[in-house]
Amino acid sequence: MGPENPNRPNYPLRPAATPFASQQSSTPFSSSGPAVGSEAPAFRPGPPAASNFQAPPFAGGPLVGTEVPAFRPPPSIRSGEVVGPPPPPSYGPPTSGFQRFPNPPVSSAGQVPPPHISLTGQPVIAPPTRPPPGHASPFSHPQPPLVSMGSPPQIIKTGQPNPNIPPPADQRFSTPIPRPSSQPSSPPTGTSYPAGRGTYPGYPNMQPNSDSQAPPMLPASFQMQQGGYGPPMQSSFPLQRGYAPQAPPTSLLAQQRGYAPVPPVSTSSGLYSGNQFQQHGIAPAQQSLAEDFSSLSLGSVPGSYDAGLDITALPRPLDGDVEPKSYADMYPMNCDSRFLRLTTSGIPNSQSLASRWHLSIGAVVCPLAETPPGEEVPIVNFATTGIIRCRRCRTYVNPYVAFTDNGRKWRCNICSLLNDVPSDYFAHVDASGRRVDLDQRPELIKGSVEFIAPAEYMVRPPMPPLYFFLIDVSISAVKSGMLEVMSQTIKSCLDSLPGSTRTQIGFITYDSTIHFYNMKSSLAQPQMMVVSDLDDIFVPLPDDLLVNLSESRSVVEAFLDSLPSMFQENMNVESAFGPALKAAFLVMSQLGGKLLIFQNSLPSLGAGLLKLRGDDIRVYGTDKEHTLRLPEDPFYKQMAADFTKYQIAVNVYAFSDKYTDIATLGTLAKYTGGQVYYYPNFQASIHKEKLKHELTRDLTRETAWEAVMRIRCGKGVRFTSYHGNFMLRSTDLLALPAVDCDKAYAAQLSLEETLLTTQTVYFQVALLYTSSSGERRIRVHTAAAPVVADLGEMYRLADTGAIISLFSRLAIEKTLSSKLEEARNGVQHRIVKALREYRNLYAVQHRLSGRMIYPESLKFLPLYGLALCKSLPLRGGYSDVQLDERSAAAYTMMALPVKSLLKLLYPNLVRVDECLVKVSLLHSCFFCWSMIWCASYLFPMSPQTEEFDTRKRLPLTVESLDTRGLYIFDDGFQFVVWFGKALSPDITKNLVGEDFATDFSKVSLSQRDNPMSRKIMEILNQSRKSDPSYFQLCHLVRQGDQPREGFFLLTSLVEDQIGGANGYADWMVLLFRQVQQNA
């Protein structure tokens, strides 16, 4: 058989069977009409009698399910080879056929393509792009005007008569619209995967289903993958350097949505809004059917060239955390999502419906989240009026209360009780029920507000900001340089501590004895008092151990200057941490405050001494495995309870290179609302900047003192469990001795009533605290969510970020009572149950065998679930993560806000070498305008920013790494700068100096006097400023430099197979198979 096109080479055939092949019996040539897909058909099938395939009984009707792509894979492309773009597709009206075939390479619209050869040997002429006048296909029906589909339909909108009831079945499915296959018809390019790349030196092929003869088929991006009829749109994936741009794939949404009609030639290819659908003749029923779900083909048909799952078609959160917008549009007076996020904004109306939702109904709260400039939370002072609250449920007045009786009464939106309006707060209402002074009342128009609390909200006078430092001065602390860095940092922060002249400060040091320091303002130097009796701790001079900072400033500075040299010759290796902790409690119990612990070794003396238990490999895999992650001594949990009772928050800074039992010491932070900072094998020359930054932020960020928090919700629902770092004082009251913007808390919700009768459920978060200025305040966040009767609506309103945030806390807590494998399986089973339940909504009527279907809102859930299972708290077993590192990561993740957690699970990976070359070229040719123009042409920049190249996030797989490239990996806690083997030596020399050929473990990245170095430091600093919660320490890694490369980078590429764990492609196939079981 001759070639289909004399100008194109024959391509090697892919094997018919693949590891993920599903048993399908459909024929590729089942329709007698012209096939329609994302491109014009390349040939027309021959007569049925001459075909080698037996047509099914419904050969003349529409085919639904996995289909056979009628294209051959492209030839392998060598690295650096320039590939020309394929011809633009032409679009024809939809007919009964659903197969999609590639266009022949026609050079112009008017050129007649050469004949093709069918499988039966008969020449086939491509049909015209539009039927001639008067022609009608016997299988076609009148078609509406063609437009491209947009975002999911907004079924619930404010102001509709009954927004919670979905449209009736006859309205939604009145017009049968065929659903084509989700396989792409041609291999588009422009994704983040380099075209035609083979395996890089030193890296095995990580994908088990990849084809060795040809590169993986790059899909037409997620918006058209299901065979929609939309025109290709600009890809969101960056092109790799060295490859010419090809026909851009379409965007992510319609690829999964199936039927997406293309606009006429004269119409813009942009997305249409709901009213534009009506103007263009698209009925709501068709729109609803087309956008019910998204899907991904995971099966192949015997005899086809399709390898099954295309890894480039898998959804990836390359744009970071994407919050659901429809929910915010429905309730514009809700608090911002940075303060409160629900796992689903559709609250089920019955317990039976809630039982079918397997992803947990709950919320993630970050009450003091940082706000951008200009969006600060308004402060309201009611003065003599008193704070307006419901007299029954104690809800604070908010935008969702209703005023009645001409403004003399208001109805609580939580419990519906009618309350009297105080005379000082009275205002008339207009005909629509709005108060005439609404614009002057932030509490009635803003979802977040802060009230100044009167005296009745205080059980004692507001406490001053108090910082107490408990410092280990044993030999390891001195030798590592921790003592010096800590002293210098505290001294540099004295002017920035909150509280101004009210701030209190104090110090205790310890090794085998306990050292107190008298810092009375009348002294020139601090006086040191040593207590060696560890069994009966007492406090000498209790009135002079805590001093006012402004009054004793000179004494405090003198102490910090002399502290490193004071213990420079100390050879003591013991640690009386437990007795020192008791002493700190005795000093602080009168006022409360924040206790900062600097611990360098395992507690070895007195109360709370701990044993070495973290290296017992025999325990892993047994029922006793979880005991290693539990506190060994109840002493520390009891101390945490005492600290919380007296409003003391504990932050733990752990530095040892040996086992220090973070699982036990971390309970001090967990139950006091604190935080754990872990610096394994601390060395001042390496970790100085990280400790300095994080300690500075801990000391200077705005803090809410002696706080309590409660979350109220509407009738019929209640919060049943809470997860995070706090002490639960009663069933729903969280005790938080100190709160800041870097702390988040999660809670699970359940239905108390069998059936909810309300149309909306309201939530209100109230945080009562003392500000650093000495005011008692109440921060209130209010949000509303619709009650829905449709499970599909719950899925459409789901929030992946909130779900994963809640999942991570539940999974980490499960590791404290079960094996790691059981915790990972728990995450997997929840995802499988959720996808199976969703599949049952649509699989029967749409015959979706061979496809995984999922809601658009949860398209990233499987990947985040895989990343969670590979995170430090859940990963592997004994040999994969050290016990202290695992425990520290668990304590950190329990307190992280949503955006920080998602970045930790799926970090940023960007390529920067092209950006550096461009900057260097522009700098060297600054006075040569022609060269500047040439550089701009070769390296186009975004008109808004010069950071164009650094904003292209890449998938976390080794296939994204080019040996000629320079990459930055950023998970919010560290930077890894990866140097490819074939990277230009000039770039390496400009960044690391003359030592570029030496071991990178001995080289640091610092700013040098050249444009490339300045640019990369600018990129790193901008990333640090965007999220200052933690300091990203920079590690340099050269390709092939093991084990350094594997430790810092390769184990963090969550889409690859790591230590026996599944890669992304295998994980999706595993989920798909389990979803199909009992579906």
Cα 170 to Cα 166, 174, 213: the distances in Å are: 11, 5, 49
Angstrom distance (rounded) from CA 727 to CA 712: 18
Condensed to tens digits (0 to 9), the pLDDT of residues 637-696 reads: 999 999 999 999 999 999 988 899 999 999 999 999 999 999 999 999 999 999 999 999
Condensed to tens digits (0 to 9), the pLDDT of residues 259-313 reads: 333 333 333 333 333 333 333 333 333 333 334 567 666 654 444 444 467 788 8
| pTM for the whole structure | 0.74
Angstrom distance (rounded) from CA 1022 to CA 900: 16
Residues in Cβ contact with 69 at an 8 Å cutoff, skipping those fewer than 6 apart: 99, 100, 181, 183, 184, 185, 304, 305, 306
Which residues share a beta bridge with 712? 764
Side-chain-side CA neighbours of 1073 within 13 Å: the count stands at: 9
pLDDT at 149: 35
Asked whether the beta carbons of 261 and 147 are under 8 A apart, the reply is: yes
Q: Which two tokens stand for residue 1045?
A: 């490369």
pLDDT at 926: 52
pLDDT at 712: 96
Which of 20, 201, 189, 186 lies closest to 104 in space, CA to CA?
186
Residues in Cβ contact with 678 at an 8 Å cutoff, skipping those fewer than 6 apart: 654, 662, 884, 885, 888, 889, 892
Residues in the chain with pLDDT values less than 50: 1-291, 300-307, 927, 929, 939, 941-949
Condensed to tens digits (0 to 9), the pLDDT of residues 781-807 reads: 999 999 999 999 999 999 999 999 999
Q: Which two tokens stand for residue 226?
A: 């299901």
Angstrom distance (rounded) from CA 602 to CA 660: 4
Angstrom distance (rounded) from CA 864 to CA 803: 10
Q: Read off the DSSP letter of residue 815.
A: T
Peptide bond into 89 cis (omega under 30): no
Asked whether the beta carbons of 389 and 395 are under 8 A apart, the reply is: yes
| 809 Cα distance to chain centroid | 14
Measured in degrees and rounded to the nearest 5, phi and psi for residue 404 equal -130, 180
Q: Read off the DSSP letter of residue 138.
A: T
pLDDT at 18: 38
Asked whether the beta carbons of 755 and 789 are under 8 A apart, the reply is: no
Condensed to tens digits (0 to 9), the pLDDT of residues 930-987 reads: 555 555 555 454 433 444 445 689 999 999 999 999 999 999 999 999 999 999 999 9
Condensed to tens digits (0 to 9), the pLDDT of residues 381-415 reads: 998 889 999 999 999 999 999 999 999 999 999 99
The CA radius of gyration of the chain, in Å to the nearest whole number, is 32
Asked whether the beta carbons of 471 and 598 are under 8 A apart, the reply is: yes
Count of beta carbons in the 10 Å neighbourhood of residue 554: 13
Asked whether the beta carbons of 38 and 90 are under 8 A apart, the reply is: no
The DSSP H or E segment spanning 623 is none
